[in-house]
Amino acid sequence: MARMHHMHEDVEAFIRGVVAEEATPRFGKLAEGDVSEKKGPLDLVTVADRQVEARLAAALTALLPGSAVIGEEAVHADPTLKDALLGDDPVWIIDPIDGTSNFVRGDPSFVTLVALARGGELLASWIHHPVSGRMAVAEPEGLDGPVLMASARPEHLTGEQYERFYGLGPAHGVKACASGSAGCDYLDVARGQLDAAAYVYDNPWDHSAGILLVAEAGGTVLGAAGRPWRMTDGARPFTAARDAATARRVAGLLNSARPAIEDTAQSAAAQPDQDRPDRP
């Protein structure tokens, strides 16, 4: 237990230090050559993404010998790296800048996401919002971060992606909103400022840290069929909600929209990965 606590402190220090050196000085000050497209105009990468990921990968694997890394930029170069996710060795899952388009525009809605997993189980996660300095750290049966608070209006859900992807909106009691960063959305759910987030799980670096944070803050993560979410479920719809009742309600909405969701997931799979807005 003492060793795990010490590792948490080391990981937090690495994240804060690397982001402060590689990302914060470039925020709102990117030169033309600092931004490039990967697979299209909405699939952006910056020099900050690459530097943050490379430095964190080196520091974290040195901290935990024998561990592997699944990073957004590294997997873009070598998709087979994702195979380590369900292996026996511990794996660091890194999204160096979640909300790259926001970062490029000078919008503060971006975070750095890090999670630790082994055998398909999440062991710990870190979400760092550099502009506010907020750091949320979670591990099973222990949370060092925001405490989940119930919504003042449980009959009216606020969340993202419903309307754009699933045809759900005001008629279903859903008010869609937009941030452009899944990590920021998970922070909002954990802090009680957003009732639920709903996604088709596609890339582990987008969701792993936030899923664990919401669960350990007292929320509930369910698949559309109403069963607990598992990393082995793959690209299936799920919700991370502020409490069990909200999760069941959103899961029911997702299940009712299953044909549209499956069509959307198949279409997305046929398209290049994009740093698209995470809310409509």
CA angle 12, 18, 24 (to 5 degrees): 110
Let me know: does 202 contact 268? Beta carbons within 8 Å: yes
Residue type present at position 229: W
Let me know: does 74 contact 219? Beta carbons within 8 Å: no
Residue type present at position 84: A
Structural tokens at position 226: 């109403």
Per-residue confidence (pLDDT) for residue 149, from 0 to 100: 41
**Mean pLDDT on 45-52:** 95
Reduced to 3 states, what is the DSSP secondary structure of residue 142? strand
Domains of the chain: 2-144 (3.30.540.10), 157-269 (3.40.190.80)
- Measured between its terminal Cα atoms, the distance across the chain in Å is 41
Higher pLDDT, 157 or 246: 246
Mean pLDDT of the chain: 82
**Mean pLDDT on 55-70:** 97
Higher pLDDT, 147 or 238: 238
Least confident of 25-34, 150-159, 200-209: 150-159
Give me the phi and psi of 33, to 5 degrees please: -75, -5
Per-residue confidence (pLDDT) for residue 225, from 0 to 100: 86
Radius of gyration of the chain (CA): 18
Q: How far apart are CA 8 and CA 142, in angstroms?
A: 12
- For the stretch 79-96, pLDDT in tens is 999 888 888 999 999 999
User: What's the helix, strand, coil split of the chain in %, to 5?
Assistant: 45, 25, 30
**Helix 204-216 and helix 182-190, axial crossing angle in degrees, nearest 10:** 0
- For the stretch 120-149, pLDDT in tens is 899 999 999 999 999 999 988 654 444 444
**Mean pLDDT on 212-226:** 92
Per-residue confidence (pLDDT) for residue 230, from 0 to 100: 85
Per-residue confidence (pLDDT) for residue 75, from 0 to 100: 93
H or E segment and range at residue 55: helix 47-63
Higher pLDDT, 241 or 255: 241
